[in-house]
Chain A
Amino acid sequence: MIGKCAWATWLFLLLACFAKGQSEDSLNLNQLRPPSSPAFNILGIEPESVMRPSTPNALGSALVSSIQDGFLRPDIALEFAPYWLKSRPNISFKDYIASTFKQRLKQTTAISIATSSFNDENESGSRLGWGVRTQWLSGTTSSRTVELTKATLLETTLGTLVGEYKRDTSIHTPAQLETKVLARIDAMLDGTADLPQLTGLSPKEIKSFLREKAKKQVQMAILQNPKKEDESMKNYINRLRSENALLPKATAKSLSKSIKEPVGWLLQSAIASSMTFPSERFQFSEIPNASAWTTLTYRSYNEKSAINLMVRYTGSFVDSVSNNLDIGLSLVRHSSNFSFALEGLYRAYRVEGVEALDETLTQMTTTTIEGETYRVTMNVAYKLSDLITLNATVGKDYDHPIVVGRNVLTLFGMNFNLPTSQVTRL
């Protein structure tokens, strides 16, 4: 291990000696994905905090707070999904993860709004960005999601099972509670009590959990959470099952994240536009740029490979009018220690109203520039350990339509990852 680390470190230092600095932005390999918040993307901001109202009242408050003294407040970042602003009692978990086309559009449509200020040599004012994104195809649940769903259901069932004893007047101590719960689990295992009915879980899987994990979890929960002197058994059981002891958050959080990373085919679209208000006056407002993205993604069922095809339009309408049409393709492959990504982007551009010298090179004239260019990048990352990853990116950037400059992309780097809590897979 030491030898491997030393070799990789020397290689990294050697490459770093030859590497010329590039901005992180120019080497971002996620350019083929539609932005998660199109409004932030169109304004080119990465807000530190984003308001995500989940009720109509919270949304109203957020919108009111974005205006101060009749002007837009800068640095507002707001994102919300209109469909989820109210409770949806008829949408089951199954409906949520495997929705119909119409239902999927409702569930995945999100609106983002952002503001910022500008202050350059000539003028100052506010900028407002808005965007909408949605999913046409949402893929299918990954095997990881299936496993985490089972684990979350089993964990939750154990808490619900313990909760059944809070009205049992024959239980006065945690030890008696433990004895009763363990006896119930034994009865489920030997068939004298009914097993929980859990969708997607076989009796064998439920029994395996009860035999190997459930008893230990109950014993640990009772051991680590002693009953307070003045606490009733009902309150003790409520506390036991409402705290992390019997309802650990980690598995449910991992499930929530995993649902957002399905496998198979995904088709996503987003649009965004911005407005500027020079001198904070509406009559001077302009629409400086607009964008639209559509991305078709295929993620393999083993979650190790992905292909992205993206079509993106970006238009800029201030000073000169420029229109870019990008078509991109990326391939990503990763294993436990190694990842590889190749990304190619073709761009057709048209810039109107560019001032340039005429044929005689004596007078300035206004002209239109049209052309095509491309960008190709390759990224390789090698994980030395859970804490350290080496990265190398090389490629060719777009050729600028007017300025002739360097277009070679190189970046070598080392990432340090802080340790995070691990989820136990059941």
Chain B
Amino acid sequence: MSKIVSKEEQYPMGSGTLTIKVSLGDGQLGTTSVMLGNTSLGIGDTIDLTVGQTTELTHQTIYIESTCRDVNSSSDYTSVTVTFTDAANTKTYTYSEQAESSGGAVIYDLTFHLS
């Protein structure tokens, strides 16, 4: 059974175009999906995409789900780094959790309310 890490955050948007980057750390392998409401924006092992204009995104929610597989024999740590960037600011969120065993997984269920 994989661990599930659930987090909920507020992202105070600035102006301009909002972009999002998601990367996995600790030498682990995995994939991430990004959804804006019920719309899938992309699935991949690294995420670097444009969400849209901040003026059109107010009060919307971004769901990020990352599945990290423990393939690093030296560490059971897994981590996800999410970076939001717009014309006014850049904010980075980092989450970390240990997998239960080699070959196991940690699923990060992240919710960002855009305000």
Contact = CB atoms under 8 A, between A and B. Distances in A.
Contacts of B76: 54
A257 B43 CA distance: 27
A98 B3 CA distance: 28
B98 A256 contact: no
A256 B30 CA distance: 13
A259 interface: yes
A199 B24 CA distance: 13
A89 B79 contact: yes
Nearest to A158: B31
Main secondary structure of the interface of A (DSSP, over half): helix
Given A156-B69, A157-B43, A160-B65, A107 B74 contact: yes
B50 interface: no
A91 B79 CA distance: 10
B103 A253 contact: yes
Looking at B2, B38, B40, the one whose CB has the most chain A CB atoms below 10 A away is B2
A359 interface: no
B44 A91 contact: no
B65 A253 contact: no
Contacts of A90: 25, 81
Interface in A99-134: 107-108, 110
B107 A259 contact: no
Contact of B67 (A159, A253, A259): A159
A88 B25 contact: yes
A260 B73 contact: yes
A256 B75 contact: no
B35 interface: yes
A196 B71 contact: no
A314 interface: no
B72 A242 contact: no
Given A92-B25, A242-B107, A255 B79 contact: no
B104 interface: yes
B103 A249 contact: yes
B81 A89 contact: yes
Contacts, number: 158
A358 interface: no
A247 B67 contact: yes
Nearest to B23: A92
A252 B30 CA distance: 10
Contacts of B51: none
A133 B102 CA distance: 22
Given A89-B96, A199-B45, A249-B103, A163 B27 contact: no
A256 B105 contact: no
A159 B104 CA distance: 13
B29 A88 contact: no
Given A54-B76, A87-B25, A197 B44 contact: yes
Given A87-B96, A89-B94, A91-B25, A196 B67 contact: no
Looking at B29, B30, B76, B107, the one whose CB has the most chain A CB atoms below 10 A away is B29
Looking at A54, A89, A90, the one whose CB has the most chain B CB atoms below 10 A away is A89
A46 interface: no
Given A159-B67, A199-B45, 12 more contacts: A54-B75, A88-B75, A93-B29, A107-B27, A152-B69, A153-B29, A157-B43, A160-B67, A197-B42, A242-B1, A247-B105, A259-B71
Interface of A: 54-55, 81, 83-84, 86-93, 95-97, 107-108, 110, 149, 152-153, 156-157, 159-161, 163-164, 167-168, 194, 196-199, 238, 241-243, 247, 249-250, 252-253, 255-257, 259-260
11 contacts: A84-B75, A84-B77, A92-B25, A93-B24, A93-B45, A163-B33, A163-B107, A194-B42, A252-B69, A255-B71, A260-B73
4 nearest A-B residue pairs (beta carbon)? A96-B27, A253-B103, A197-B44, A89-B25
